Chain A
Amino acid sequence: MAEEILGFGADVVVEAPDELRRLVVDRLRAVAVEGATR
């Protein structure tokens, strides 16, 4: 579920449940760091 939502990027926002929203936010943060080249 989270994976599908992440694929939509900024087009989909999870409002509830909290657990799913936290998971999506954590993974987006990881992509914001890991997605960039180093």
Chain B
Amino acid sequence: MSGARDQVARLLALVPYLQARDEVSLDQAAADFGVKPAQIVKDLNVLWFCGLPGLGMGDLIDIDMDALEGEGVIRLSNADYLARPLRLGSSEASALIVALRTLRDGGDEAVRPVVDRALGKLEAAAGEGAALAAQVDVQVPESETATAGLRRDLGSALRERRQVELEYYVPARDETTTRVVDPLQLITAEGHTYLDAWCHTAEDRRLFRLDRMSSAQVLETVAEDHPDLPPRDLAEGIFSASPHDTLATLLLAPQARWVAEYYPVERVEEADGGALRVWLRVGDREWLTRLVLRLGGAARVEDPPDLGDAVASAAAIALRNYSTLGVH
């Protein structure tokens, strides 16, 4: 939120927020609005010059700048006409209602009463403005309803802090593995639900897609604490590269440049003839092999050499199938 439009929206929300509190710390306000404290200071410097027409001394919003600079505390007054927060627009209310209905249909029994209460309040507040939402028919994918039982079991394992034994399909290796994990949280992102967990087989943190689990047995064993693991940051997408992952260099022909936009890359460099050189972290070598195979010669693994050899070898093995068929 850094543009002027975002700032106006924030200012209109900031005034009733501050009005409702006698005082609030700068850090708390910044955290509540999801911006840096410096941004809130900039906002207050704008608000200081806002008020009713006339803009005389008694008309302007009053902010105690001494308290802000000295104690890091915000006190605002003389803005009683902006005591109520902005109402949601009809499209915003409709979008929220549709999202909540989707969450309700895909959620477990523990979530539904909470969603129902929020929906009730929102529909009552939006009134006619929510008419658009009534025209939207939400269909939760079958895979999501099929995993409802897993979500329930994993949710109870999280609440009771129990280990879970998973039967999990790994598509990159085309095999089903059995592993014991310490559940950390359930995450829904990019159309799938994942269990974020500490895997005792990999001895590392892993994400497990629920629709790839054939079973999840909650064990009696208490899950271990992992206080050193921070909450997973999903701002950059569900895949987060680890510095321990292999750093691979690919040379992409023009028709494969999309790879740089589709997958998280650490560095991009233009190369001759419209090609692109990219550096990306690879957690699973099989994944990269499949990617380069799919690109059908439009990508070359420049580094590390053994990964390039593995890709060439996978292609050579696939070619042998056709030699035995008599295809050349």
- Chain A residues at the B interface, C-beta cutoff of 8 Å: 2-4, 6-11, 13, 15, 21-22, 25, 27-38
> How many B residues are at the interface, by size bracket?
20 to 34
- B174 located at the interface, meaning its Cβ lies under 8 Å from any Cβ of chain A in the complex: yes
Mark the stretch among B74-82, B197-205, B239-247, B296-304 that contacts chain A.
B296-304
Minimum CB–CB distance for B129 against chain A, Å? 44
Instruction: Please indicate the chain A residues that have their CB under 8 angstroms from the CB of B308 in the complex.
Output: 35-37
- Chain B residues at the A interface, C-beta cutoff of 8 Å: 174, 289-305, 308-309, 311-312, 314-322, 325, 327
Instruction: Please indicate the chain B residues that have their CB under 8 angstroms from the CB of A22 in the complex.
Output: 327
A8 CA to B289 CA, complexed, in Å? 10
Closest residue of chain B to A27 (Cβ to Cβ) is B296
A-B contact pairs, 27 of them (CB 8 A): A6-B294, A6-B295, A9-B317, A10-B314, A10-B317, A11-B174, A13-B321, A13-B325, A15-B325, A27-B296, A28-B318, A28-B322, A31-B292, A31-B295, A31-B296, A31-B311, A31-B315, A32-B312, A33-B312, A35-B300, A35-B314, A35-B315, A36-B300, A37-B302, A37-B304, A37-B305, A38-B300
Closest residue of chain A to B289 (Cβ to Cβ) is A9
